[in-house]
A and B are shown apart, each in its own frame.
Chain A
Amino acid sequence: MSGRFKQAMALLIVSVFAAVSLPAFGEEAAEGAVQVHHIYLHVSPSESGQDVEVQVSVDSDTVKVVSDSDAVKIVEAEVAAVEDEAVVEQAAEAESEVVAPVAIESSIEEQPEAAQEIDEEEGVAVASACAVKDDEGQSGSMGLLFFVFVLAIFLGFELIAKVPSQLHTPLMSGSNAISGITIVGAIIATGLNIGDKSPLVVLLGGLAVLFAMINVVGGYLVTDRMLGMFKHKEGGQK
């Protein structure tokens, strides 16, 4: 690897956030997001021994590749998405002209990892990262939500089929407090990436947080207060 050329030891740290985490649970990487197949980075020659960090972030339909360092410029970044077979092939062709194709093949089936290859002639570093999950994980996200919905409805019916009438009110106000779970949506709407948001969204989100918290805090406290009053004859409180 050493050579007449200045060693371009560029360490590329490729982190692909969204596509890696379970798509069904992260709301960011849900259906509609780009499922990254490979990312090729062509990096300009750098000063010797330079470590370069490259951040790759995957948003709903764009992939951003950013280098923190001034010393190294990203000359070109090619991203191939899973859905788009043509892009994958094209990228692979273009790739083979520039560098050895080792990185491509080895990375396709691997779990997320970064590989690096330095072309000594041209001073181009190529990294390819693969964040391909099996198809289930991606196409399932919408279907999976429905699946969870139906299961939870059935679970709910099974769970509380029999309720003694003493507990009707506490069950109602307790479950009412649970419906305050919309607080999660309110928090995301209010605070996540606040810089990109219009003030109206933050205002709506903030109000949602306020009302959801009335529901959550009030609901749980009032239920607890009520249940605290239900006493056994012996005076024992359960």
Chain B
Amino acid sequence: MSMQGLIPYGYIIASVLFIYGLKMLSSARTARKGNLISALGMAIAMGATMAYAGMSYHWIIIGGLIGSAIGAFAAKLVKMTAMPEMVGLFNGFGGLASLLVGWAEYHGGRASLDLFTVIAIFCTIVIGGVTFSGSLIAYAKLAEKLDGKPVLFKGQQVLNGAILVGLVLGAVLFAIDPAGMYPLFVLMMIVSLILGVLLTIPIGGADMPVMIALLNSYSGLAACAAGFVIRNNVLIVAGSLVGASGLILTNIMCKAMNRSLANVMFAGVGATTSEGTGYKGEANPVSPSDAYLILEAADSVVFVPGYGMAVAQAQHVVRELADLLEANGTDVKFVIHPVAGRMPGHMNVLLAEANVPYEQLVVPEDVNPMMSTVDVSVVIGANDVVNPAARTDKGSPLYGMPIIDVDHAKTCIVLKRSLNPGFAGVGNPLFFNENTRMLFGDAKKSISAVVAEFKE
């Protein structure tokens, strides 16, 4: 027994720590500790694995050190505004690692694989491949290295369907003769990488939170499949926990948009920009000094941030403005829509970076009923999540999506660069409302101007 006998117990302890860590991560008070506990679980799982008899360490240490260094630097240096693409990229690397594990197990043991392992290897490379290439595309879109607009072409669904059928056929052939099918194996890896690309390109920027959450789930399932390959319970437990949590987040995101996952995945909202011209009218522009006067007189103000705030990096000046308003005796809240931004919780992270205490952050359900008592709502770079058409216009692609009712406030100030429709390309009647004031320009500059007025 000795060390060897203890390895399984190390894995059990690691699994328990993952469960506890994840549980603690879902509550604000304990989240940070939960993250550390799950990191401890990871360390124990790695330590236990290193204790196997017949382990040589040099390549592990070399690979591990390089990977750790890259990971640590990236984590330290990443800007909070770049968080969505960073999370997407890390995610992709997890999928790639699982794919490589599946490949290594296949290459090393292909002469003597049983059916069960063959199927598990197949699942590992397919899920891992889709996770990797899908995350890379998501990363490129979020980092604006690729156009964020959905890419749709004729026969896309047919092609995806054909690829899925092809993968199933490949799986059958592969299962019949695993050792002799090396070329097929390589082909399947390539096909799953292509599939990941095809599944991600039709996702528009506004739908990215759903895709990121889904890819997160896939990376867990890939690890889980790798667990079936090497028959290791800790991979299966940890992988399926991640798979489940990713699916829950995906579901939350879909609900926040009142759309089914299939609709998000395949409809490609925003591909047709012609819809965006539906609303016309006279917008009421306002200058920063007028905006200052409106805000200065208000007793209660809600800010509604969106992706535009992230792009303009305006979170710090927004916090400054909020502080000034509070000092002025105004009640300030930030209303955050679940799908605002490009990943789940994106706005929360930005505002936290700007030191906005999270007691000030509220969810739409809590504010909407009281919106008519709010003096001023300030929309900063958000569009679809405040589009009243979602409530009223059955023809709008957004119809049915729960929104923040900023138009119910006494006055609504919208910060926007122009009257162009938002990312989803859907026109917004809010801009032409009587009680809406448009503050055109870069959000950061506009808010800074208002702050300057306050300070005078």
Contacts and interface: CB of A to CB of B under 8 A. Distances in A.
Contacts of A232: 357-359
B447 interface: no
B1 A231 contact: no
B172 interface: no
B331 to A, nearest CB: 14
A169 B63 contact: no
A164 to B, nearest CB: 6
Given A160-B245, A176-B94, A226-B83, A193 B7 contact: no
| 9 cross-chain pairs, A with B, having the tightest CB-CB distances, nearest first | A156-B244, A213-B67, A168-B345, A25-B8, A218-B71, A217-B71, A168-B344, A209-B63, A169-B345
Which bucket holds chain A's interface residue count? 35 or more
A154 to B, nearest CB: 8
Contact of A230 (B11, B28, B226): B28
Contact of B90 (A189, A190, A204, A218): A218
Interface string B108-129: 1000101010000000000000
Contacts of B176: none
Given A182-B223, A217-B75, A145 B228 contact: yes
Contacts of A141: 231
A115 B334 CA distance: 75
B42 A172 contact: no
A229 interface: yes
Contacts of B270: none
- Which secondary structure dominates chain A's binding surface? helix
A172 B243 CA distance: 11
Interface in A2-59: 17, 20-22, 24-27, 30-32
A221 B76 contact: yes
B90 A169 contact: no
Contacts of B236: 145, 148-149, 152
A29 B329 CA distance: 70
Given A176-B216, A222-B75, A224-B36, A160 B248 contact: yes
Given A27-B232, A177-B38, A233-B357, A168 B338 contact: yes
A137 B299 CA distance: 69
Contacts of B305: none
A61 interface: yes
A169 B358 contact: no
A238 B352 CA distance: 13
Interface stretch (B18-26, B276-284, B380-388, B400-408): B18-26
Contact of A169 (B22, B70, B76, B349): B349
A160 B245 CA distance: 7
Nearest to B238: A181
Contacts of A167: 25-28, 31, 345, 348
B346 interface: yes
Given A157-B244, A176-B87, A194-B56, A188 B64 contact: no
Contacts of A166: 28, 345, 348, 352, 358, 361
A174 B34 contact: yes
Given A27-B230, A27-B232, A175-B216, A205 B25 contact: no
B26 A214 contact: no
Interface stretch (B96-104, B190-198, B306-314): B96-104
A27 B232 CA distance: 6
Nearest to A201: B108
Interface string B205-232: 0000000110010011011101111111
Given A165-B336, A215-B71, A226-B352, A170 B100 contact: no
A102 interface: no
Interface residues of B, number: 121
B26 A182 contact: no
B183 interface: no
A66 interface: no
A208 B100 contact: yes
B450 to A, nearest CB: 23
Contacts of B36: 224
Contacts of B352: 166, 226, 229-231
Given A163-B249, A209-B63, A219-B90, A201 B107 contact: yes
B91 interface: yes
Given A171-B25, A192-B52, A213-B68, A182 B249 contact: no
A181 B42 contact: yes
Contacts of A159: 19, 22-23, 26, 241, 244-245
B18 to A, nearest CB: 6
A120 B416 CA distance: 99
A161 interface: yes
A236 B347 CA distance: 21
Nearest to A224: B35
Interface stretch (B43-51, B154-162, B368-376, B422-430): B43-51
B262 interface: no
Contacts of B39: 177, 220
Interface in B241-298: 241-249, 252
B98 A189 contact: no
Contact of B26 (A160, A206, A217, A219): A160
A107 interface: no
Contacts of B29: 238
16 contacts: A25-B12, A142-B116, A152-B240, A156-B242, A156-B243, A166-B358, A167-B28, A168-B338, A176-B219, A188-B230, A189-B101, A190-B63, A190-B104, A191-B60, A204-B107, A212-B94
Interface in B175-210: none
